[in-house]
Structure 1
Amino acid sequence: MRTKILILAAMSFTMIGFSQKNEIKAAEKALKGGDAGGAKTALEAAAGAISGEDAKVQAQYHYLRGRIYADLARKGDDSAFETAISSFQKAKEVEESSGKAKYSPLIAQEMSTLAGDIVNSAIEDNKNEKYKQAGEKLYMSYKLSPRDTNYLYFAASSAVNGGEYEQALTYYNELKEVGYDGGGIEYKATNVATGEVETMEKVQRDLMVKSGTYKDPVDDKAPSKKAEIVKNMALIYTQLGQDDKALEAYKSARAENPKDVTLILNEANLHYKLGDKDKFKELMAEAATVAPDNPDLHYNIGVINMEQDNIEEARVAYRRALEINPGYTNAQLNLSTTYINEGNGLIDEMNTLGNSRADIARYDELKKQKDDLFQEGADVLEEALKTNPDNQAILTQLKNIYGAMGDNENFMRIKKLLGE
């Protein structure tokens, strides 16, 4: 009786083995026929007992599972990408343990194709502003092919675009750890069908040009992205309120790129935010030295000097901004305001004077100084009107100046220009 039971048990085990193989064959047939969903269902029936099969069957199962989920992913199931990857990796592990390599060469090819599919899907996500998903897919592609560090760089960029700042920091820190530079040669060619210039691997580019689908190959030298990465990290730290880390990041970035005016300005703005206006002023002056023809720099130097009551320095900065850009409205308004503010400062002293002969003489002296300052402020704006006659801000400020001066003729003239 015991012998019968053992025989029956052996027969049962053999039947199960045949069952797994039949289900795998059914899944292969369905996949070959383009029915990835049916293939998935058929293969799932073999999942429960697959761990008891020999290495050959296990490798076949996991390899097929990878192909099925890769096909599902290509057809729009984003969640299938990770399953496809893990399945291919499991098949490879099984073969490495058994010392056989029937599927390993095929797996390498499948993984390479899958990496490209993931990148293409990420590109579509970016186009559709699904930045979080795009970043995750690009990072997945990088893990599949760690030599392609550009995928990690683009993953960080997508995360930033999607407001996933902490995730972006993780990617940026990983870029720093692997010593990513981002420089080198970019191989480009024009797509004949679309007319768009595209960047690709050199071998691929050359083959595309040879095939006639692309033309006008160009080899462009790409600059290092190290400074950009550290700058972005600093901006993210600032966004997250981690100002100390942001300052360290700027320090690191500027050590490599001391003449990068954007880095200087970003650091200056951070010091301004932290209330260190002297450091802000110092860095703005440095930026103006690096980029002397940038009107915004001189304007901002004027603003900070104005806030610190350094009126003459503010005027020099505003006038420099106007030399570079004669139509810089804010510089015109602020330059005019420096004269008005100085004139208003004299009014305070005028109001403290009494009726003595000396006080009356002093009053008349201060009034003339005040009127002269107001007139200078008006002259700045009258000059501005020559190139910008309809600017409402300029007209309004000019009307107020003439009103304060008691110049009724000019007051009414400007009022009419305002349509009042």
Structure 2
Amino acid sequence: MRIKHIILASAVLVSVSSFAQKDELKKLKRIYEKEALSANDLADYKANLDKLAPLTTEEGDKVYYDFYRVTLPGIEMAVLGPTATPAQLFKLFNPKAIADLATAYNTTLDYEKKTGKKVFTEGIIKNITTFKPILVNVAINLGDTKKFKEAADVLYSVYQLDKKDQDKLYYAASYAVNGLDYDKALSYYYELKQLNYSGEGTIYWATNKASQKEETFNTKNERDIFIKTGTHEKPRDEKAESKKGEIYKNIALILVEAGKIDEAKAAVSEARSANPNDNSLILTEADLYLKLNDMTNFTRLVNEALANDPNNKVLYFNLGVTSANSNKLDEAEKNYKKAIEIDPNYFDALLNLSELKLRADEKYVSEMNKLGTSEKENKRYEVIKAEREKCFKSVLPYLEKAVELKPEDDAAKKTLLSVYNALEMTDKYKALKAK
């Protein structure tokens, strides 16, 4: 009798505990589904979460407890309403909270798919659509304040919420690189590689009438909605080039940095085997051999790329950048000029060529400052001065064309102003300064 009595008592305790946790779940659900929330609702929500925490034992209860726990920042934000400050929002939706949200949302979706009882599935899908732009802005703001690791974490969580949006994984990897978190970046790049991500497609632009800044949209239909509502104008489409070369290049660079040379070579070789005619990958392999100071293979690969596409301005531009970074200035100048010959309106090549040619100015100024006032030194001064002016005049047509193409570009404008000033072209200096 005694043993039976103990068993019955235990059963009652389990039953009470189970009943209690079901009651807490109901209360949480009721608050969660309210249209308008008060401070009292928030307090009740937190209290019920605290009560429920030690009671969850079954899989479903654990899943829904986590779901309600990660939605707490959303409840707090709803209570704050329009009075919420950016600082409060960033505190609520910090990288860890966003990562927890992504995990719990996916766990809930998987559980409801398994059980066939879709309690929150529809709401979660709607929330993901609503929250994604907010979370992306959180990542951008973190990146703008140089918190690259945190920005990478947030974008990776956004990708976890919507696995179809592989661009977010790509940008998460880029932020991780900027944050020097190479292990995480490598992990993301390997995932992109496994997905066979290229990033090719169309970028949809339109100008925001209020800010007069161009903004991008995920789809043409999305952009068309903003155009029709009158908030945006001047729609334009831009082809997004393949990012495979950059992905494999970064994989190789990270592996080289870690001293894993053979792995770096194998990664690029594998990519080349799968995409033998992809010039971006040829350049990636060439860049790898350049870093390893293997000029034989570097030259071979450059010639291979040019043979595939002799009129590719981007290829010549990239070769110019590679040569300039290796201090092969004559070769860099030749490649930039070839890119400009193919496309006279190639802004980046015009600006880079100008910067390359102006590198000589530091040498001229340094020597001029060291000269004394003897007759011999004065003659030398005049020779250097003439060479300096000749250098400035040779740069002038490239810089003027660059500023004509992109008058809003500060770097191009400041450089041209400096050249006008050095050549004592006062009228042109004043006119450009006034713009």
Q: Classify the TM-score, shorter chain.
A: 0.5 to 0.7
Amino acid at match of 1:196: K
Q: 2:164 aligns with which of 138, 147, 172?
A: 147
* Residues 1:239 and 2:257 are matched in the alignment: yes
* Residues 1:88 and 2:54 are matched in the alignment: no
Instruction: Measure the CA separation in 2 of the matches of 1:205 and 1:20.
Output: 45
Instruction: Measure the CA separation in 2 of the matches of 1:158 and 1:40.
Output: 34
The equivalent of 1:158 in structure 2 is 175
Instruction: Measure the CA separation in 2 of the matches of 1:4 and 1:320.
Output: 95
The equivalent of 1:104 in structure 2 is 121
Query: What's the RMSD between the two structures over aligned residues?
Result: 4.9
* Residues 1:391 and 2:364 are matched in the alignment: yes
SS of corresponding position for 1:45: helix
Range with bigger deviation, 19-28 or 242-251? 19-28
* Residues 1:256 and 2:277 are matched in the alignment: yes
SS of corresponding position for 2:242: coil
The equivalent of 2:379 in structure 1 is 413
Aligned-residue offset at 1:185: 1.3
Amino acid at match of 1:109: K
Structure 2-normalised TM-score?
Answer: 0.60
1:3-56 Cα distance to aligned partner (Å, 9 max, x none): 999599749945862575257526854885254863234322122223369x6x
Instruction: Measure the CA separation in 2 of the matches of 1:296 and 1:207.
Output: 42
Q: 2:91 aligns with which of 48, 58, 76?
A: 76
Q: 1:33 aligns with which of 18, 32, 37?
A: 37
Instruction: Measure the CA separation in 1 of the matches of 2:58 and 2:323.
Output: 76
State, as a whole percentage, how many aligned pairs show the same letter: 25
1:149, 1:180 within 8 Å by CA — same for their partners in 2? yes
Q: Check 1:12–1:410 CA distance in 2 against 1; reply closer, same or farther (3 A cut).
A: closer
Q: Check 1:322–1:143 CA distance in 2 against 1; reply closer, same or farther (3 A cut).
A: closer
1:41-77 Cα distance to aligned partner (Å, 9 max, x none): 4322122223369x6x777655433432445685523
Aligned-residue offset at 1:103: 2.4
Q: 2:144 aligns with which of 127, 130, 149?
A: 127
Instruction: Measure the CA separation in 1 of the matches of 2:111 and 2:256.
Output: 47
* Residues 1:64 and 2:68 are matched in the alignment: yes
1:72, 1:80 within 8 Å by CA — same for their partners in 2? no
Q: 1:269 aligns with which of 287, 290, 303?
A: 290
1:271, 1:280 within 8 Å by CA — same for their partners in 2? no
2:316, 2:336 within 8 Å by CA — same for their partners in 1? no
Instruction: Measure the CA separation in 1 of the matches of 2:326 and 2:180.
Output: 33
* Residues 1:216 and 2:189 are matched in the alignment: no
Instruction: Measure the CA separation in 1 of the matches of 2:90 and 2:354.
Output: 58
Instruction: Measure the CA separation in 2 of the matches of 1:137 and 1:322.
Output: 38
SS of corresponding position for 1:51: coil
Q: Check 1:270–1:75 CA distance in 2 against 1; reply closer, same or farther (3 A cut).
A: closer
2:285, 2:301 within 8 Å by CA — same for their partners in 1? yes
Aligned-residue offset at 1:189: 1.4
The equivalent of 2:423 in structure 1 is none
Larger Rg: 1
The equivalent of 1:43 in structure 2 is 49
Range with bigger deviation, 173-182 or 194-203? 194-203
Structure 1-normalised TM-score?
Answer: 0.62
Instruction: Measure the CA separation in 1 of the matches of 2:136 and 2:354.
Output: 48
Amino acid at match of 2:175: S
Aligned-residue offset at 1:239: 2.7
Q: Check 1:27–1:391 CA distance in 2 against 1; reply closer, same or farther (3 A cut).
A: same
Amino acid at match of 1:270: K
The equivalent of 2:190 in structure 1 is 173
The equivalent of 2:408 in structure 1 is none
Amino acid at match of 1:129: K
Range with bigger deviation, 77-86 or 144-153? 77-86
Q: Check 1:265–1:72 CA distance in 2 against 1; reply closer, same or farther (3 A cut).
A: farther
Instruction: Measure the CA separation in 2 of the matches of 1:236 and 1:270.
Output: 12
Aligned-residue offset at 1:89: 3.8
- Count of residue correspondences: 341
2:333, 2:356 within 8 Å by CA — same for their partners in 1? no
Instruction: Measure the CA separation in 2 of the matches of 1:110 and 1:29.
Output: 17
Aligned-residue offset at 1:183: 0.7
Q: Check 1:121–1:71 CA distance in 2 against 1; reply closer, same or farther (3 A cut).
A: farther
Instruction: Measure the CA separation in 1 of the matches of 2:292 and 2:183.
Output: 23
In structure 2, stretches of 5+ residues that fail to align are: 78-88, 339-352, 385-435
Q: Check 1:37–1:256 CA distance in 2 against 1; reply closer, same or farther (3 A cut).
A: farther
1:70-127 Cα distance to aligned partner (Å, 9 max, x none): 4568552322223333433444455445442232222322344344443232122111
Instruction: Measure the CA separation in 1 of the matches of 2:268 and 2:144.
Output: 31
Instruction: Measure the CA separation in 1 of the matches of 2:172 and 2:255.
Output: 18
Instruction: Measure the CA separation in 2 of the matches of 1:37 and 1:8.
Output: 34
